[in-house]
Amino acid sequence: MTGTLILLRHGESTANADGIFTGWTDAPLTPTGREQAKDAAHLMAAADLLPDVVHTSLLRRTITTADIVLDVLDRPWIPVTRSWRLNERHYGALTGLTKTQVRERTDESTYHAWRRSWATPPPAALPGALTPWNDDRYRSLPPDAWPLTESLADVHARLLPYWADHICTDLTANRTTLVVAHGNSLRALVTHLDQLTTPEVEMLNIPTGQPLRYDLDKGLRPKTARGTYLAPRAAAQQAAAVGRQ
């Protein structure tokens, strides 16, 4: 037996609503995002999916989403672990710009590669800019681990050790495990779980606030490819909207 894995992208943030490349910067949830977190909890309760443990990034949009979910489920007491390895992709010099601004400054092919490709990172931030030099959350992080930009492949590489050392430990102990993370860190994790090809990765969109369930075999491989959204129609509609951005 292995535990069930639930993946949840945080609820809509103010940066999501404004179409901003956010990356490692913090953005609070919008009122819509808070309602999405509550709705996610109700979906989980209806499916009898009560988490035993939770993993989040170090960014407040995942922390707040997880707190709301646990409050609705009346499980604020379960263990919660946070890691920078679950953070959103670092968008480098695009951080803080709107998607409209970036599209106006470059061609469509380059824009698509920066947003959706596996191996192409956005332009790097200047050294010393947009890095966690003075942020207490990252004081224990070796300086050579602080990114100036990241491709999705980079996110995949820094996420896998956390998956192996922490999330897999909970799953093999038969714990129902909730991971609240970001669009790109979850794309990277789904890529690993489903062994996606590069074209499949580029087409993958993770909607905000929609729980995605994976039932895993004893080798921690999905029994059902791509998992199962608890509200499949709503998830498909929201994923399509993400793809159109």
CATH number, position 162 = 3.40.50.1240
DSSP letter for each residue of 33-79: HHHHHHHHHHHHHHTT---SEEEE-SSHHHHHHHHHHHHHTT-TTS-
Q: Are 111 and 81 in contact (CB under 8 A)?
A: no
Question: Per the structure, how many domains does the chain have?
Answer: 1
Q: Are 214 and 7 in contact (CB under 8 A)?
A: yes
Q: How many CA atoms lie within 13 A of 142 on its CB side?
A: 3
Catalytic residues: 10, 88
Question: What distance in Å separates the CA atoms of residue 137 and residue 238, rounded to the nearest whole number?
Answer: 31
Give the residue numbers spanning the domain of 86: 4-243
Alpha carbon distances (Å) from 221 to 115, 159, 165, 172, 176: 27, 17, 16, 12, 15
List pLDDT tens digits, range 158-178. 999 999 999 999 999 999 999
Q: Characterise 128 by phi-psi region: left (phi > 0), alpha (psi -120 to 50), beta (else).
A: left
Model pTM above 0.85: yes
List pLDDT tens digits, range 71-100. 999 999 999 999 999 999 999 999 999 999
Q: Both tokens of residue 218?
A: 């004893």
List pLDDT tens digits, range 200-238. 999 999 999 999 999 999 999 999 999 999 999 999 999
Confidence band of 132 (pLDDT split at 50, 70, 90): low
Q: Both tokens of residue 147?
A: 């990114």
